[in-house]
Structure 1
Amino acid sequence: MLKNIEGRQNIPVMDVLEPQLYRDVFPYEEIPKIRFNNAFVPYNLPETIWITDTTFRDGQQSMASFSVDQIVRLFKLIHKLDNGEGVIRQSEFFLYSEKDREAVRKCQELGYEFPEITSWIRADERDFKLVKEMNIAETGMLMSCSDYHIFKKLKMTRSEAMQHYLTLAMKAMEAGIKPRCHLEDITRADFYGFVVPFVKNLKRLSQETGISVKIRACDTLGVGVPYNGTELPRSVPGIVSELRNGCGLRPEEIEWHGHNDYHNVVTTSTASWLHGGASVNAALLGIGERTGNCPLEAMLFEYAQLKGSLGKVNLPVLNEIVRFFKEELSYTVDPKRPFVGSEFNMTKAGIHADGLLKDESIYNSFDTNKLLNRPVVVKVNQSSGAAGIAAWINTYYHLDTLEKVDKHDPRIATVKRWVDNTYEAGRTEAVSNAEMEQQVKKAFTTGIHQFSLVK
């Protein structure tokens, strides 16, 4: 049994009379500022990196509550997507209500290795009982670290906040639970005045108990920046490298949790990997508070680019996940959202369609049909021209190299005249697939039997 926190020789935080709010960086009446110190932080990509999922915790908070059945079915899809690879290593769940606990039990009964089920609890030792009863090895606990939160929300001093957090971490460790400490608002915190001594004390507890502690660095307002040579508290390279080198954390003890308030959530998450953290926290389709969490599907593609391969990860399952969100959760995915939107690989410009006719790789950076089961899509409008119409026929009817129609085919000109006439008559919306089918059948009076449509 460890002695009480009050009796321990802890590394002291730097107590201050007034909160450090970095008003030069966060003036509030203006857009936040990025300060540069030109200190280059070397890349230090861990040998093994992975993704953790927060769809059922932070993600679910932004939507209507999921039913038990919906949680279980979505958990199965995440498992199917990972396909035993362990890239999507963990998924976190609430434990508050009986419904939450029922969902966890049903997911546990599936017996999956990946993703491992973890929990999230309030910073309240009474919640440890729930974690133990559910036989969960790791739990997240909220430990806000900026003076915005410590002074203004918790109404504590820094020393009082650290003592409270360390007591909770110790209680968790004594119960045999691995604490995942959510350092909320780290990108507005006094890093050397509070974060470093606090994390070092957590590390000491970990060494004394033999139970690893995980630090989740939370960019709560999405103000973190991925650029090298930037100053703390906003610098992601600075935060992660100091957690690793200055606080003695191992890569597997560092996790990044970002938000997308400034359109940086993917790049800050990748920067965390690049500078020494093993895991990044994400949610399917980026669902989450305000502008959302890091999209899990985006980090799969970042992982593939950094590591060269996704192994057994089953990317086409993303299509099933999108259908689930649409049909089960009434969630609309932006058509242009990368990798999952209905139009992410659609072209409407005639010059792009002309390139696709010559070689698909000209305007498609990877084989979306092979890797995602999403063939290139062409939409016909007033700008498509003959090339766009020919490309629509070739992609819509899945014609192979020998069957493909050339833009100079006189039958294409017939379809083009109809398209041109409709727009000259005042049409504004794109031509539907049904209309195109009808016009193609009229123009291709011979050889139409070759078009065996595969939907």
Structure 2
Amino acid sequence: MKAELNNITNLMELKKHDYTIEDVDTPNLYRHIFPYSEIPKITFNYKNIPIYVPDEIWITDTTFRDGQQAISPFTTEQIVTIYEYLHKLDNNSGIIRQTEFFLYTERDRKALEICLSKGYKFPEITTWIRAKKEDFKLVKDAGVKETGILMSCSDYHIFKKLNMTRRQALNQYLSIASDAFENGIIPRCHLEDITRADFFGFVVPLVNELNKLSQEAKMPFKIRICDTLGLGVSFPGVELPRSIPAIVYGLRHHCNLSSENLEWHGHNDFYSVVTNSTAAWLYGASSVNTSLLGIGERTGNCPLEAMLIQYGQLRGNTKNMRLELLTEIAEYFEKEINYSIPPRTPFVGKEFNVTRAGVHADGILKNEEIYNIFDTGKILNRPLIVAVNEYSGLAGIAAWINTYFKLADNKIDKKHPIVQKIKDWVDSEYEKGRTTVISNSELEESVKKYMPDLLSKINNTASKKDYKFKNRKINRNLKIKNI
């Protein structure tokens, strides 16, 4: 054993082992954890790894790469528009630091060229390729400073997809990384399926060899930790290969990698993608990879919007980002790309902050903070809305009026006699067999009928306010007659 100063932790540590590739004859498929005919197992060794939060944490985007694989391909114009949205959303905060592009179609290459010409610092444009010579030529022609390179690292992929040995795969990966260094392009090495890989028998030896190439070239390289099937586990005391704390710690400790060169990429197969991405931050990776709305293969990637909110919770601020643009972005995807967002999707779904329960509406009537996660109107340009159905009661109708018309002052009380009249009409609708929610337009007509003075006052003051929330469709020039 040899004691050495770790230049990442600035502490003396024992260097216990020089890890070399274990070129096995048969693949290690971890059948005791992944029996395939059964649900995967989470096994524990009770080793707790301390939290190690980097000085800086940030987000990268894969909407145009992994995201685009799961939906109809974007047009060139759509890619450029979405890139503009990402730039405006980041607002030069550097939180959305990079985005990656495909290079395989003329459409993608044209979009990359247009976006590069804009000269934006954030998000920086990078690319993604397979570990093939012909793919790397596309990167050289693109004129980018960094590219992702697919480096599948589990025996499932090496033996069963690539039909290679571990040594052959390692040599191929190192060859493409060398080409990147020789051409002054930073390689971002995507360790695909790391949560089923032999960490000490393949991952650590591969990364250490990449480290040697990096030192010789006097250029940095990055590791993207790819949880391809969403098998990563954030709990303390879990064994490799599924432990996120152990993977991130292992790459820092056994490969001497700094946090800024580590990036997590997760999928949502086990409903854990946001928690897992957050754990990567907490245990030492500076970067987490995301896509807008979480679009991506199978269950999708980590939603970019979710990690922006997580950033705010962890850091206590979101710098100067324009989070209200998330609402515009969601509308753009639905209108221009025909992508359907489930209405209850947090932060971007049409109904993520809509309540129907009468007891909740009663709380909102008293103070909207009781049942709203934060000021969604201010932060996301999505004011709280109360939907009215057969269970809403007087409180629900009064709350709808107050929230829909933004009555910050002079709120309507549930005991107001007109509220009772509207409730009587709502009750009669359901007594006739109605099963759908009362629409905003129907309720607005009821207000027009029973409370013309209120609506006239709203129309007179509405022009002074800029409400973009699309469900609020008040005709500002409406002339109301007392019926």
TM-score class, shorter-chain normalisation, is: over 0.9
Question: Is residue 20–residue 201 contact of structure 2 (8 Å, CA) maintained in 1?
Answer: no
The answer to whether 1:261 aligns with 2:269 is yes
Q: Please name the residue that 1:345 is paired with.
A: 353
Q: Please name the residue that 2:8 is paired with.
A: none
Q: Please name the residue that 1:271 is paired with.
A: 279
Structure 1 residues not aligned, in runs of 5+: 1-9
Question: Is residue 12–residue 159 contact of structure 1 (8 Å, CA) maintained in 2?
Answer: no
User: What amino acid does structure 2 have at the position aligned with 1:300?
Assistant: L
Deviation (angstroms), 1:16: 1.5
User: What amino acid does structure 2 have at the position aligned with 1:443?
Assistant: Y
The answer to whether 1:96 aligns with 2:115 is no
Residues 287-338 of structure 1: CA distance to partner in whole angstroms, max 9, x if unpaired?
A: 0011111100000001111111111110111111112111111101111000
Relative to the length of structure 2, the TM-score reads 0.90
Cα distance change, pair 206–440 in 1 and its aligned pair in 2 (3 A): same
User: What amino acid does structure 1 have at the position aligned with 2:183?
Assistant: A
Q: Please name the residue that 1:422 is paired with.
A: 429
User: What amino acid does structure 2 have at the position aligned with 1:264?
Assistant: S
The answer to whether 1:384 aligns with 2:392 is yes
User: What amino acid does structure 2 have at the position aligned with 1:141?
Assistant: I
Deviation (angstroms), 1:418: 1.1
The answer to whether 1:242 aligns with 2:250 is yes
Matches within 5 A, 1:101-250: 101-250=109-258
Distance of 2:453 and 2:212 partners within structure 1: 79
The answer to whether 1:449 aligns with 2:456 is yes
Distance of 2:326 and 2:166 partners within structure 1: 44
Matches within 5 A, 1:290-301: 290-301=298-309
Deviation (angstroms), 1:448: 4.5
SS in 2 for 1:451: helix
User: What amino acid does structure 2 have at the position aligned with 1:450?
Assistant: K
Q: Please name the residue that 1:304 is paired with.
A: 312
SS in 1 for 2:148: strand
The answer to whether 1:49 aligns with 2:57 is yes
SS in 2 for 1:216: strand
SS in 2 for 1:217: strand
Residues 335-359 of structure 1: CA distance to partner in whole angstroms, max 9, x if unpaired?
A: 1000000000101001111111111
Question: Is residue 19–residue 200 contact of structure 2 (8 Å, CA) maintained in 1?
Answer: no
Question: Is residue 126–residue 147 contact of structure 2 (8 Å, CA) maintained in 1?
Answer: yes
Deviation (angstroms), 1:444: 2.3
Distance of 1:25 and 1:363 partners within structure 2: 41
The equivalent position to 1:437 in structure 2, one of 439, 444, 462, is: 444
Distance of 1:415 and 1:106 partners within structure 2: 54
Deviation (angstroms), 1:433: 1.0
Distance of 1:177 and 1:406 partners within structure 2: 64
Q: Please name the residue that 1:364 is paired with.
A: 372
Question: Is residue 94–residue 120 contact of structure 1 (8 Å, CA) maintained in 2?
Answer: yes
Cα distance change, pair 447–199 in 1 and its aligned pair in 2 (3 A): closer
SS in 2 for 1:386: helix
Question: Is residue 177–residue 210 contact of structure 2 (8 Å, CA) maintained in 1?
Answer: yes
Deviation (angstroms), 1:449: 2.6
Distance of 1:329 and 1:284 partners within structure 2: 13
Question: Is residue 98–residue 125 contact of structure 2 (8 Å, CA) maintained in 1?
Answer: yes
The equivalent position to 1:39 in structure 2, one of 16, 35, 47, is: 47
Question: Is residue 354–residue 387 contact of structure 2 (8 Å, CA) maintained in 1?
Answer: yes
Distance of 2:280 and 2:167 partners within structure 1: 28
Distance of 2:55 and 2:334 partners within structure 1: 37
Distance of 1:447 and 1:128 partners within structure 2: 65
Deviation (angstroms), 1:431: 0.4
User: What amino acid does structure 1 have at the position aligned with 2:451?
Assistant: F
Q: Please name the residue that 2:479 is paired with.
A: none
CA RMSD of aligned residues (A): 1.3
Cα distance change, pair 11–44 in 1 and its aligned pair in 2 (3 A): closer
SS in 1 for 2:234: coil
The equivalent position to 1:288 in structure 2, one of 288, 291, 296, is: 296
The answer to whether 1:84 aligns with 2:96 is no
User: What amino acid does structure 1 have at the position aligned with 2:445?
Assistant: Q
Q: Please name the residue that 1:315 is paired with.
A: 323
Residues 377-396 of structure 1: CA distance to partner in whole angstroms, max 9, x if unpaired?
A: 01000111100000000011
Question: Is residue 45–residue 274 contact of structure 1 (8 Å, CA) maintained in 2?
Answer: yes
Structure 2 residues not aligned, in runs of 5+: 1-17, 473-483
The answer to whether 1:15 aligns with 2:16 is no
Distance of 1:423 and 1:99 partners within structure 2: 52
Q: Please name the residue that 2:9 is paired with.
A: none
Question: Is residue 11–residue 201 contact of structure 1 (8 Å, CA) maintained in 2?
Answer: no
Q: Please name the residue that 2:12 is paired with.
A: none
Q: Please name the residue that 2:79 is paired with.
A: 71
Residues 144-198 of structure 1: CA distance to partner in whole angstroms, max 9, x if unpaired?
A: 0000011111111111211111121112111111101110000000111111111
Distance of 1:37 and 1:87 partners within structure 2: 35
Deviation (angstroms), 1:440: 2.0
SS in 1 for 2:206: helix
Deviation (angstroms), 1:447: 4.7
Residues 53-74 of structure 1: CA distance to partner in whole angstroms, max 9, x if unpaired?
A: 0000010111111111111111
Deviation (angstroms), 1:201: 1.1
Distance of 1:424 and 1:65 partners within structure 2: 47
The answer to whether 1:58 aligns with 2:59 is no
Distance of 2:145 and 2:108 partners within structure 1: 17
